[in-house]
Copies of this chain bind each other. A is one copy, B any other.
């Protein structure tokens, strides 16, 4: 059975906000659904060719039991294929990734363990559906097991969400699922590093298909924009640009705000990544027009797959806070607009998940496409890294003189 979210009904949906009341939402589901419903078939072909990079969205079948589970548990599920050319000397290297966007499950004034457990419960159902569809690698959104509280600048009680990257509650929960399903799971959490002064970090933990934590990556670039005052809580990461060799390919994680930094994306490519996940949390009114551009550009520039994942829903906090924009204090964050999507090294992309609903996006990737696109476009061959290593070395000197041509 084919499920095409682009042709689904345009919902005037309702969803549960975080203090437990039902709110009618007037958010549109996606621009994908807007356009799919409005254009004629031939115009839609042209739109899809120019915008998505392919006329056919290459939707994959979803099992009936998972469609029913998704309906019952109020999450979206969609799957797309990215095939590559056949080669003589290499077999196809097919991997299924699943990216998950989720709202929080309970009001933010509930006990921390209750909030966390509520999210675990909904993630469990989504990961089970992913496993049932044969997904090999799952990546969750940034700080998936908690509300995105950093706008409050309150240390209490929020720092209690931080947990060990080795044996915290989230890791324990996901290790079991990784073993059960033979699945790699990337878990972006708020990390508490007890061994180094109880420091807090924004960290993605990588659990392999045997349930072993094979490593972690800490967010390299920390925002100080609007409600994203995250430097109150943690510093710029100190783990470089690691690529994790898993059974299913070489993967890396560019956490959230790092998507604005082309050099961050570049170094994961230099280190050999074939898939780079971008677990994020970002809101409407701030970044939505950038969302379809940055992770997609990174896939193009670096000839790898990118998976952009954004939180969904609107969160409220118990105490009011200000946003550094002259407006009155308030308790509600803006709308996290979801819209998670996958881009291939050739620049073609999937439609986004819903702007208003939890979701699982499955993409079947032939990793051979990465090298095929490097051979075709030649971006790595022509990138002149030596030139830029020298230029940047000079540029960071305090007395650097910019190359400016002035008329005599």
Q: Give residues in A with beta carbon < 8 Å to B.
A: 28, 31, 34-35, 38-40, 43, 46-47, 49-54, 206, 208, 210, 212, 214-215, 220-226, 236, 240-246, 250, 257, 260-263, 265-267, 270-272, 288-290, 292-294, 296-297, 300-301, 347-348, 376-379, 381-389, 391-393, 395-396, 402-407
Q: Are A257 and B407 in contact (CB under 8 A)?
A: no
The 3 closest A-B pairs by CB, nearest first: A53-B289, A262-B262, A297-B297
Write the chain B residue with the least CB distance to A34.
B43
Q: Are B393 and A393 in contact (CB under 8 A)?
A: yes
Q: Are B296 and A300 in contact (CB under 8 A)?
A: no
Contact of A383 among B261, B265, B300 (CB under 8 A): B261
Q: Are A385 and B379 in contact (CB under 8 A)?
A: no
Question: What are 18 residue pairs bridging A and B, where the CB atoms are less than 8 Å apart in the complex?
Answer: A31-B47, A35-B39, A38-B38, A38-B39, A50-B288, A242-B403, A245-B405, A250-B404, A262-B265, A270-B395, A270-B402, A289-B347, A289-B348, A293-B293, A294-B301, A389-B389, A389-B393, A393-B393
Contacts of A378 in B (CB 8 A): 223-225
Q: Are A405 and B243 in contact (CB under 8 A)?
A: yes
Contacts of A208 in B (CB 8 A): 407
Number of this chain's copies in the assembly equals 2
Tell me, rounded to whole Å, the shortest Cβ–Cβ distance linking A389 to chain B: 4
Q: Are A243 and B404 in contact (CB under 8 A)?
A: yes
Write the chain B residue with the least CB distance to A352.
B50
Report how far A261 CA is from B267 CA in the complex, Å. 13
Contacts of A250 in B (CB 8 A): 404
Q: Are A403 and B240 in contact (CB under 8 A)?
A: yes
Contacts of A383 in B (CB 8 A): 221, 261, 263
Report how far A47 CA is from B28 CA in the complex, Å. 10
Write the chain B residue with the least CB distance to A302.
B262
A385 and B396 in contact, given A224-B378, A240-B403, A377-B225 (Cβ under 8 angstroms): yes
A405 and B49 in contact, given A223-B382, A378-B224 (Cβ under 8 angstroms): no
